[in-house]
Every structure is written in structure tokens, then in C-alpha cells.
Amino acid sequence: MIELLDINRIFQVGDQQVHALKDINLTIQNGEYLSIMGPSGSGKSTLLNIIGMLDQPDSGTYHLEGKEVTHLSDNEKSIIRSSQIGFIFQFFHLLPRLTAAENIALPMMLAGISPSERQKRTNKILALLDLTERAHHKPEQLSGGQRQRVAIGRATIMQPKVLLADEPTGNLDRHAGHEVIKILEQLNQQDITLIVVTHDPELGERAHRKIKFVDGAITIDTGTQS
């Protein structure tokens, strides 16, 4: 469960201050499927980063599973990110020098899991994502859709509770985009909280709960409707 109370985030851009998040209050239950939409620069990516603990709010509190995580040390945040949160980016951010399988196994490597265990889990996920033939290819040899699937594999290999997707289909053609969204929604059905940031209205409509962001504040929140 994600609970944001009075979250504010201010950025210094040149000699101006940008108030990216203004008094945000948001509660998300486990297993929800949420979309955050809004014009560019409205602060939706910033919100995602706060939830993913990649960024620190200037004021307010963030509770995750009942525990306050706003002012945790960097190490503690890293541990939570590693085990509970998965990220999916618009530009994939795969390591070009690692194969598809190695990219997927990366979080396990960071966590110190043994090579044999890593292999087992990776093979399972590769099969699930239909990537087994591409396991030893480097990202430059994969299509956009395949790359994003590898990214999804990487994001879920540690069995996180929350998946944060920032414009997951932004760099994909329609077909690949559809495939990716299908996989994400399947994962949500396994009770993983799914939060998607997008400015594609079609994509946004699919979510069960829709939040609209304008100028750093939530203007619409359809709430926990099914």
C-alpha cells in the first residue's frame, strides 16, 4: 500500500523555481491498476520517481506498506527498490553490452544471488515472455518490442509488489505496444500494483483508476472503481 501525504517537490531550473508537485495526497491499495495522465511538464514523471524512491520530496511523507520511507538512508532505499519495486522506462535502458538473459538477471546479480539460481529464474521468465530464442542476443539485435519485454523481465525478476511504467509504449509501434500492455495487465492480475504514466489517452483509459495531472496537482481521480 502506497500512501503519499502532502507531498511537495520543487526544482531549480536555471534561475527559476519550478513547483513540480503541489500538496499531493494519494493512497494506492495493493493490486490496483492506475494510470497517471497529463500534459508534458505537468509533474507526472516526478510523481512516479517519488513513488519509486528515485527522488526525495521536499515536504510531506511517504508510507509504503505502513512504514514511513520518506527519510530512509540511501542504502535502505536501495534495498526496497531492489526487492519491492520494478521500473519500466520509455527508452528501455538496457545495458548494451549484456545479453537479453544477462540484462534480466541484473537485479539478481546486484542482490548477490548465486549464478545457478539466477539461471533457473531467468529461464523461467524468458519462457513466460516468449524470449527463449533471443536469450543470448544483445539489445542492438532485438526489436523495440523485444527490448521492452526484456525490460519487463528485468523489472519483475525479483517479484516486486509495484510496477512503475513511464511511457512504456512511447517508443514502440502499435503492435508491439499492444503486446507489452497485455503482459503488464497480466502481471497486474497476479496482484502486482501497476502504475502507468502516459500521455496516450487510449492507454490511459484501460486502467481501472485514472488520475489526471495538471501543473503539479491532481485534478481528477476516478478513485478505486473497478
Q: What cell numbers appear for 104 in the block?
A: 534480466
119 binds other proteins (CB under 8 A): no
**Smallest separation (angstroms) from other proteins to the CB of 208:** 25
**Sign of the alpha-carbon dihedral angle for 177, 166, 196, 18:** negative
For the sheet with 67-68, list strands across it: 16-28, 2-13, 59-64, 67-68
Residues 60-89: x where in contact with other proteins by CB under 8 A, - otherwise, as a string:
--------------xx--xxxxxx-x-x-x
In the complex, least distance from residue 62 CB atom to other proteins, rounded to whole angstroms? 15
* Cell numbers placing 150: 526484456
Residue type, 47: L
206 Cβ neighbours under 8 A, 6+ residues apart: 35, 181, 185
Among residues 3, 23, 55, 185, the one that binds other proteins under rule CB under 8 A: 55
Which of 1, 54, 128, 214 touches other proteins by CB under 8 A?
54
Contact partners, residue 172, CB within 8 Å, separation at least 6? 144, 145, 148, 180
C-alpha cell at 186: 497480466
CB of 142 vs other proteins, minimal distance in Å: 17
Stretch that binds other proteins, among 28-36, 109-117, 124-132, 216-224 (CB under 8 A): 109-117
Which DSSP category does 157 fall into? Answer: T
Task: Write each residue from 156 to 195 as x if it is in contact with other proteins (CB under 8 A), else as -, in one continuous string.
Answer: --x-------------------------------------
| Positions in the binding site for other proteins (CB under 8 A) | 49, 52, 54-55, 74-75, 78-83, 85, 87, 89, 91, 93, 95-98, 106-107, 109-112, 114-115, 154, 158
